[in-house]
Amino acid sequence: MRLFTVHGNIMSLNYIRATTLGAVAYLMLVPSSVVAETGTQGKGSYNLFDPTPTVLLRELSTDRPDTTESPFTVDAGHFQFETTLLGYSRSHTDSAGTTTKAYEYGTTNLRIGLTNAIELSLIYAPYGMMRVSSPDPTLAGRFSGSGDLTVRTKFNFWGNDSFQKAGETALGLLPFVNIPTNKGNGISSDFVQGGVILPFAIKLTDKLDLGINGGVQWMHNDDMPGYHKEWIVTGSFGYDWSEVVSTYYEIAANFSTPQGDAIQLGTGISYKIGKNLQWDAGINFGITTAAPRLNPFMGVSARF
């Protein structure tokens, strides 16, 4: 998940907790038997403590390197680590002459398969660094430290085990909560924030897929009490050049951020080193000033 923010109307923290945490609790309690495909695939009985056998594992599917989230979950009883080894971001220079450069190291998404259709994931940013250059000395500075801890639950409605042929689709639901870990360091947020994303995918051809996300998140206001809504819309084409090499081409937008609508274009490549290991790299280009001007990154994913 490479998520940037968006903004709208003010909401209360209690509403965020009720909406997002309530959705998480509901999804955690929904039996996997509600997913029609689990019965036909014979995998509905597996869970965290009775893992899916290796011979029945789905093809490795990751939520990186693009911003668009996939609707697919990790098989029951298995773990998947998706790590940004190194990331860099440079902002546009604003009207006051201020430019921000940020460095990201080791941000990891630990995905845990609870059932055949439900997963829990924990995203933690252990270290980041940000440098702000500005003619105004009160704005300039260097900040470093840990970032947020993001807790997410993904629920797959359909498509987990049947996304094979052209025309087939998959749909999921992904509520999340961002929890501050080091308030005031300039890297972590200072308030609990959250939202929900609806990931959808369609297989256009044997080699070409389209992923679409629509979502909303509630972010704390910087200059007044309370929260505001931000809208998330992304679309990503993925193309398999071979069994091991694939590329993606993406447009992602966050609407109503305090800085304006943030829209970026992205592209990248993934290379499967083995059945359970993948390397990737990508780059995003901001086409509006609210999005980072440049954002290259590289990472690795592994399943156990």
Band the pLDDT of 8: cuts 50, 70, 90.
very low
Q: How far are the Cα atoms of 148, 184, 220 from residue 217, in angstroms, in the given order?
A: 15, 22, 10
- Sorted by sequence, the CB contacts under 8 Å of residue 286 that are 6+ apart come out as 92, 262, 263, 264, 292, 293, 294, 295
- DSSP letter (8 states) at residue 258: T
What is the spatial distance between Cα 269 and Cα 249, in angstroms, rounded to a whole number? 9
3-state secondary structure of 271: strand
The answer to whether 141 touches 134, Cβ cutoff 8 Å, is no
pLDDT attached to residue 42: 80
> What's the one-letter identity of residue 202?
I
What is the per-residue pLDDT across 190-249, written as a single tens digit (0 to 9) for each?
999 999 999 999 999 999 999 999 999 999 998 888 999 999 999 999 999 999 999 999
Percent of the chain with pLDDT over 70: 87
What is the spatial distance between Cα 130 and Cα 122, in angstroms, rounded to a whole number? 23
Radius of gyration over alpha carbons of the chain, in Å? 19
What is the spatial distance between Cα 246 and Cα 262, in angstroms, rounded to a whole number? 27
Domains belonging to the chain, first-starting first, are 10-303 (2.40.160.40)
What is the spatial distance between Cα 114 and Cα 119, in angstroms, rounded to a whole number? 5
The answer to whether 238 touches 267, Cβ cutoff 8 Å, is no
pLDDT attached to residue 17: 41
pLDDT attached to residue 60: 97
What is the spatial distance between Cα 1 and Cα 82, in angstroms, rounded to a whole number? 9
